A and B are shown apart, each in its own frame.
Chain A
Amino acid sequence: MTNLKKIYAALALAALATTSSVQAQETIKLGISAPMSGAAAVWGLGMEWAAKQAADKINLEGGLTVAGKKYKYEIVAYDNKYNAAEGTKVAQNLINREKIKYIVGGIGTAPIQALQSLSERSGTLIFISAWGKSVKGPQFPLTFTQSNTPFEILDPLYRYVLAQNPKAKTVAILNANDSSGKEVETVAQKAWAALGIKVLSSNWYERGTTQFQPIAAKLTEQKPDIIDLGVAPPADAGIMLKELGVLGWNGVKVLPVGTSATQLAQIGGAAANGTYMGYAGDYSSALSTPVQQILNQGMLAQYKEPLNPLQVSSYDSVYALKAAMEASNSLDPKKIAAVLPTLIFETSYGKTVFGGKATYDSPQQIQVPVMITQVQDGKMVELIRIVPEELKTRLAAGK
């Protein structure tokens, strides 16, 4: 064999090896529909980043095996701008153009409802972090919620806040005027009333609002003991707190959807101090798992923001999907959805399950701890971590 022939033979073998490798590892695309720009951008960007970490880790470990065949994951993310119109476009892009059958991250009730109108019909399995109760239940068998929602968070958060501030008797509520805000406001009103707190007013603002002085003046004039900023993202909440501070209001501040202190403190300044949050966790603390600590460091390096539950939910979705694909030994979204509620699977929090049938009539809600945090001197401090009773029971029973 001449040298040239040897080279050709080597190239042919290399090409064959590459082809076999590609065939051995077909790619499964996983979609994300989340805000990647605007006030809530850090949530979507972080969600995409976290999902990529999970996909990369699984791919590096050899991918997943379904029906004897090897697969690897690829993340495809689109910006839904936190509104229904963009959510519809994103749904079309993900499902019809990219032909994606699994969505591992979704933020915003309105864009998720837009996504659902297509995903359930087309047989696409979706993992979401939308807060609305209306997005899951038996009528949506292919939808799973991958992080806590107001139904899991508000009651323990409000109870804790009142235990720390027993003199508080009144609350004023502000929410974004969209599906997420509307659904959360109903639950919040009931939860405050059930705890004996008088709701002085419930107010709405449009996402994209740049001037918060008028509503700050209104809330200050009502002299509430507590102001509940509902689903306001950190950038909006930060401006609102700053305006309240200018007007001299310094009561109890609650931000149920508060995901981190960084942006809140950067924008709100000293006025953000004392804010209670229900949707953040200190993933650098010893309370967190090693996986979460590594992800937290990565997020800080990438976006100068610590990891939050919304972002880490996509990481957990990818692992939940992997577990269910392997357990069902199928790529059929319906078969995967059927097996998901029966599994105990690994996530960044450790072992967990899907439950919540008592609230949603269907076990589609992930069971992870509720973490209550507070902004203190511009930094987030985790005050308490509450593990759901359902998770404790299921893990103890081993099924």
Chain B
Amino acid sequence: MDIFGQLFLNSLQISAAYILFSLGLTLIFGVMKVVNFAHGEFFGLVLLLIAIIVPWLNSPALPLALTYAAAGAVSILATMACGWFLYHFAFKKFQRDMVGSFVLSVGLSLLMQGLFLEFFGGVPVKLPDLIEGNLHILGGAITTQRLVLTLIALCVAVVMCWLIAATKLGKALRAVSEDHEAAMLQGIPYRRIALYGFLIATFLAAIAGALLAPVTVISANVGSDFLIKGFIAIVIGGLGSIPGSIIGSILIAVIESVGGYYFDPSLATLGMFVITMLVLLVRPKGIMGNG
């Protein structure tokens, strides 16, 4: 085993999940100025729904990949519907209200965790592997399915970056993020764009959950485990900044991977918080933050 190759592969697979997760978080903050602590629950909801649907659909007559695809599609749609409902009846009323949205999202997070525990139970579940086998690349080892899912996740992130950078919707999202009043004066429908931003963020959390379903252990509070890392990533990268969230995600994945190898996972986690504090001391807006 070439240790540098292995550390690269570890960083790659860890960062892919964090990028998808933190993109959604930063998008919501950018557009609505809402720090959404319930974001992890959208991610968790998809995983929990897939954990129910896959065993239910699984039969020798249906290929496993198709089972996962069907379960993923249904779960993502259900999560998007949940996101739409919460936006209309809760988040819409607390846009650009940092304190109100903080209380709201923390409350929603706790409520959803409680509901997940009630409906899905607390026992962790591991779904069957989608693709069997391991690959050896650059002297390191990785399971084939992790590599495939990582590449898909990176593709989704690239598409999302393109959408933000090059499409009319992306330009509207960026305009609203920079100055929503000026954007409205230019004829951009702020409320509609905010809804789109929220739904895109929910979709990103949902797709991250769907991609991780075959490789992660699923439990009622799986979302909160990822939420902390996602927040560290966007705080380091700069709240509201898309490139910042990607840089932050890669940075914490590298710290987790390299720190976990040379020291241990606990010290690596500590290292992330130290780096966060240093970044905030030197550049309080984060690496790419501008407002």
Contact = CB atoms under 8 A, between A and B. Distances in A.
Contact of B269 (A37, A206, A303): A206
Nearest to B224: A208
B256 interface: yes
Contacts of B3: 217, 221
Interface centre among A37, A44, A221, A269, by most chain B C-beta atoms within 10 angstroms, is: A37
A305 B124 CA distance: 12
A212 B1 CA distance: 17
A294 interface: no
Contacts of A220: 1
Chain B: interface residue count, which band?
35 or more
B257 A213 contact: yes
A310 to B, nearest CB: 14
Contacts of A41: 121-124, 219-220
Interface string A221-255: 10000000000000100110000001110000000
B259 interface: yes
Interface string A188-217: 000000000000000111101111111101
A18 interface: no
B265 A37 contact: no
Contact of B260 (A39, A81, A214): A214
A45 interface: yes
B127 to A, nearest CB: 10
Contacts, number: 119
A267 B261 contact: no
Contacts of B117: 36-37, 79
B275 interface: no
Given A37-B117, A204-B266, A214 B221 contact: no
A213 B265 contact: no
Contacts of A239: 217
Contacts of B124: 38-39, 41-42, 235, 263, 267
Chain A: interface residue count, which band?
35 or more
A206 B269 CA distance: 8
Contacts of B141: 246-248
A36 B269 CA distance: 25
B95 interface: no
A248 B1 contact: yes
A220 B10 CA distance: 14
Given A235-B219, A247-B1, A42 B123 contact: yes
Contact of B219 (A39, A203, A209): A39
B126 interface: yes
7 contacts: A37-B219, A38-B220, A41-B219, A45-B122, A217-B10, A238-B126, A267-B126
Interface of B: 1, 3, 6-7, 9-10, 13-14, 113, 117, 121-124, 126, 129, 134, 141-143, 216-217, 219-222, 224-226, 256-262, 264-269
